[in-house]
Structure 1
């Protein structure tokens, strides 16, 4: 896990489906802790993840969030043994909208509203809703045991956790449809080639690689990091003209900050900048 970061647990009880801890300075980690089910989520799991993301977004103490799963799995999708999918059909039809809106849709919205870097650390399966969760993060670092895809169609279910929007943007419409219609899973190298993973590392190096990346991000100016994320995300649905106009306003907001002045001074002095986030 790197050269000895002190991991301090901040949130976990016997009834929780996740653990939140301070992985390193400026780096917070959410771990799904349902390893016997390969971290498949139920309604409670989604509510806890969403609340933890929202808390991270509102708290300036940490700059980077890492989302992962315990026991060699990221997230195998929805838990069919305990969720609304396994109940009576009438209850499914009547309750589905509320359950998913307050569950995984809240998670997707929380990640969309988070203006700080979020990294998915993926070992083992990231399937269906688990793949959607990974793709809603900014970066996805997987090890060589990672398996990504969506097999929901095998039981007649839909990519309703955000996958219908996220999958084609990551891998193209044709590949997304082939995956969904064919219920395909991809190994780590295939997932990398399709754009589902950002980087693949050996399993023994996964934690150290993610921690090194997260720590490197914490050394950049926090306000700049946030604005860069907003600019890039917004540009995906903007014209070039609109993106350039947004850049004009962003420059006006950022260039006169204390961190930019410190960054330029440090560059001229040939020293490491000391950013303070203002």
Structure 2
């Protein structure tokens, strides 16, 4: 589909880059942007040749949260009950569910402010590579709003309950180094090196055994919400699916022959 608020690019290695493209608003999301992002994520999910997703923003920002311009006027004009909830159910929440459900690796390339819902989008990715100039946090509480885009679940798991509560209640924002120390960021690199560093990492991930990476992500995600015994059971079933794949056999063969494996995604 043609996009107006995002851009989608794919390179020959199977890395798909989705760019939120409202730079004049620091890529604040709208319902339309969420719909376009959801469609782009769905396309990535169903295309086997697409191996790794990189999510980023155009211009100076990653995503500054929801675009509130005209928001309350639109809610006043509707006759629907629970209008605020409907906006979330039809916009950001379906996108959050899609990103969370992906079993392919995802990387947030945080090039600028990632605030509130923007921070939630970054945390929905497996890895977050931030420019040293990036700012991350949640200002919802300072504006009398809530971390309703998924942050209430994501923030405590990333940084611990106490830090998450303080960030939301006081509306705090952090520089990249502090965000890294708190667990919101995987890695911080100089802004001038952000794209090259992130794409090198993404292409490295794309070169790995695709089925193995996807199964590993699934069982690790499930493990966060299950017992140790249940995780061991998942691992037993996972090896049945994984170890007979051509890539798994190639990996063992390459190890025994002391060479780099040539994975084909099979």
> Normalized against structure 2, the TM-score is what?
0.95
**1:129, CA displacement in angstroms?**
0.4
Q: 1:138 aligns with which of 105, 111, 126?
A: 126
SS for the counterpart of 2:62 is coil
Distance in 1 between residues matched to 2:256 and 2:216, nearest whole Å: 23
SS for the counterpart of 1:266 is helix
- Report whether the alignment pairs 1:155 with 2:181: no
Whether the aligned pair in 1 keeps the contact of 2:75 and 2:83 (CA below 8 Å) is no
Partner of 1:128: 116
**1:272, CA displacement in angstroms?**
2.5
After TM superposition, the structure 1 = structure 2 runs for residues 72-87 of structure 1, keeping only pairs within 5 Å, are: 72-82=60-70, 84-87=71-74
**1:24, CA displacement in angstroms?**
4.8
Number of matched residues? 265
SS for the counterpart of 2:68 is coil
- Report whether the alignment pairs 1:255 with 2:238: no
Distance in 2 between residues matched to 1:101 and 1:118, nearest whole Å: 23
SS for the counterpart of 2:129 is strand
**1:215, CA displacement in angstroms?**
0.9
Q: 1:243 aligns with which of 202, 218, 231?
A: 231
Partner of 2:152: 164
**1:266, CA displacement in angstroms?**
1.8
Unaligned segments of structure 1, at least 5 residues: 1-10
**1:250, CA displacement in angstroms?**
0.6
Distance in 2 between residues matched to 1:81 and 1:36, nearest whole Å: 13
Q: 2:258 aligns with which of 256, 270, 273?
A: 270
SS for the counterpart of 1:228 is helix
Sort the Cα spacing of 1:85 and 1:171 in 2 relative to 1 into closer, same or farther, 3 A: farther
- Report whether the alignment pairs 1:193 with 2:178: no
Q: Spell out, residue by residue over 1:114-172, the C-alpha distance to the aligned partner (whole angstroms, 9 max, x if none).
A: 10000000011000000000001110000111100011123221111001000000011
> Normalized against structure 1, the TM-score is what?
0.91
**1:90, CA displacement in angstroms?**
7.4
Partner of 1:42: 30
**1:62, CA displacement in angstroms?**
1.1
- Report whether the alignment pairs 1:52 with 2:52: no
Whether the aligned pair in 1 keeps the contact of 2:14 and 2:49 (CA below 8 Å) is yes
Distance in 2 between residues matched to 1:205 and 1:12, nearest whole Å: 30
**1:93, CA displacement in angstroms?**
5.8
Distance in 1 between residues matched to 2:203 and 2:36, nearest whole Å: 25
RMSD across aligned C-alpha pairs, in angstroms? Answer: 1.6
Q: Spell out, residue by residue over 1:3-41, the C-alpha distance to the aligned partner (whole angstroms, 9 max, x if none).
A: xxxxxxxx755xx10000014511000000100000001
Unaligned segments of structure 2, at least 5 residues: none
